[in-house]
């Protein structure tokens, strides 16, 4: 690893390609998880019954510039996953899809915390300050409650539903949203890649809708909060969510680099470590003038 952390004056410095960098303390990170609670997961014959995180998006908030950048993490990313028994005792760490880490918690806070640790570990131990997980079965009632989400369909997705014509602008109700962000053909290698793009587009469109309302999204966020309670696990306050909604969205969606390969049972996304290191340094660190 060419990014070697150093401890200087108690601050977080690293050396990368011979240059010295300091962690950007203006950043606050928030992990969004879209969770399928009905999925039973087995890693090396150890079964986890709490579901899995089908959608992982890290929101990188710049509290100085008041901007939000989205970083997609493939659910199929091969990562260190900690296996726990039914009684909660730690058993082993295995290499598995990062989505499966959620299964070995309690389906609530513990699952979220384990997933947060796994994602931080994958991203060279950058701090993840907050998390919000949404049980995917809450999508229909929440989207219907806020009056749907309007977006332009970027590619031909008519195989999912005839209304998803490339270039058309449609308002997704709850049922259409669920189709748009959950459908994938698992017989096709890399089917999650397209689905991941659709999920992140939806998160972006949702945040844009919230931001564009007259009161800056406060009443809509309160609706989301109220209707979403049975489906949401988070360590965030409504106040913090309102702050996030006021930030400007970076139109460029970033993605953890790597490639999909066919595994024995499932697709495996193998992270390109060198490219990821460079990305992490660019997003989270500032060069220190020597």
Read off the tokens for 125: 């131990």
**DSSP secondary structure letters along 99-163:** GGGGGGS-SSHHHHHHHHHHHHHHTTT----EEEEEEGGGHHHHHHHTT-EEEE--S--TTT-TT
Who wins on pLDDT, 179 or 12?
A: 179
The whole-number pLDDT of residue 103 equals 95
At residue 80, φ and ψ (nearest 5 deg) are -75, 120
The whole-number pLDDT of residue 221 equals 86
The whole-number pLDDT of residue 40 equals 82
Mean pLDDT in the chain?
89
Q: Which of 199, 219, 82 is nearest to 136 (CA)?
A: 199
Rounded distance between C-alpha atoms, residue 62 and residue 46, angstroms: 40
At residue 29, φ and ψ (nearest 5 deg) are -115, 145
Rounded distance between C-alpha atoms, residue 157 and residue 289, angstroms: 48
Who wins on pLDDT, 185 or 66?
A: 66
Kindly tell me the burial class for residue 254, based on how many C-beta atoms sit within 10 Å of its own C-beta (0-12, 13-18, 19 or more): middle
**DSSP secondary structure letters along 39-92:** --EEETTEEE-S-EEEEEEEEEEETTTTEEEEEEE-TTBEEEEEEE-TTS-EEE
The whole-number pLDDT of residue 11 equals 56
In this predicted structure, the answer to whether residue 7 has a pLDDT above a threshold of 70 is no
In this predicted structure, the answer to whether residue 77 has a pLDDT above a threshold of 70 is yes
The whole-number pLDDT of residue 55 equals 92
Tens digits of residue pLDDT in 88-144: 899 999 999 999 999 999 999 999 999 999 999 999 999 999 999 999 999 999 999
Q: Which of 244, 242, 194, 243 is nearest to 220 (CA)?
A: 242
Who wins on pLDDT, 52 or 6?
A: 52
Who wins on pLDDT, 246 or 22?
A: 22
The whole-number pLDDT of residue 130 equals 96
The whole-number pLDDT of residue 2 equals 45
Residues written for the chain? 290
Burial track 172-202 (b if 16+ CB lie within 10 A, e otherwise): bebebbbbbbbbbeeeeebbbbbbbebbbbb
Binning pLDDT at 50, 70 and 90, where does residue 290 land? low
Average pLDDT, stretch 203-215?
83
The whole-number pLDDT of residue 182 equals 87
Tens digits of residue pLDDT in 132-180: 999 999 999 999 998 999 999 989 999 999 999 999 999 999 999 999 9
Percent of all residues in the chain with a pLDDT value above 70, rounded to a whole number: 96
Average pLDDT, stretch 218-222?
85
Who wins on pLDDT, 189 or 120?
A: 120
Binning pLDDT at 50, 70 and 90, where does residue 9 land? very low
DSSP 201: H
Rounded distance between C-alpha atoms, residue 113 and residue 227, angstroms: 23
Q: Which of 116, 75, 122, 85 is nearest to 266 (CA)?
A: 75
In this predicted structure, the answer to whether residue 10 has a pLDDT above a threshold of 60 is no
């Amino acid at each position: 690893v060419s990014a070697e952390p150093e401890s200087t004056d108690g601050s977080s410095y690293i050396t990368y390609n011979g240059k010295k960098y300091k962690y950007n303390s203006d950043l606050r990170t928030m992990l969004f998880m879209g969770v399928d609670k009905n999925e039973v997961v087995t890693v090396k014959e150890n079964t986890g019954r709490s579901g899995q995180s089908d959608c992982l998006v890290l929101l990188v908030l710049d509290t100085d510039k008041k901007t939000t950048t989205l970083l997609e993490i493939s659910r199929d990313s091969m990562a260190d996953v900690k296996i726990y028994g039914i009684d909660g005792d730690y058993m082993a760490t295995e290499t598995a899809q990062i989505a499966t880490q959620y299964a070995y918690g309690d389906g609530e806070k513990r699952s979220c915390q384990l997933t947060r640790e796994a994602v931080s570990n994958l991203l060279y131990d950058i701090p993840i300050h907050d998390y919000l997980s949404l049980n995917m079965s809450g999508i229909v009632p929440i989207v219907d409650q806020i009056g749907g989400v309007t977006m332009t369909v970027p590619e031909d997705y008519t195989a999912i539903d005839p209304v998803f014509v490339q270039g058309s602008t449609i308002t997704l109700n709850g049922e259409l949203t669920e189709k748009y962000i959950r459908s994938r053909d698992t017989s096709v290698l890399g089917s999650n890649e397209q689905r991941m793009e659709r999920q992140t587009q939806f998160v972006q469109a949702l945040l844009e809708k919230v931001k564009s309302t007259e009161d800056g999204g406060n009443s809509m966020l309160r609706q989301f909060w109220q209707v979403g309670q049975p489906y949401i696990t988070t360590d965030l306050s409504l106040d913090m969510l309102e702050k996030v909604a006021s930030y400007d969205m970076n139109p460029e969606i970033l993605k953890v680099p790597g490639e999909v390969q066919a595994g024995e049972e499932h697709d495996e996304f193998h992270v390109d470590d060198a490219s990821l290191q460079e990305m992490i340094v660019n997003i989270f660190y500032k060069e220190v003038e020597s």
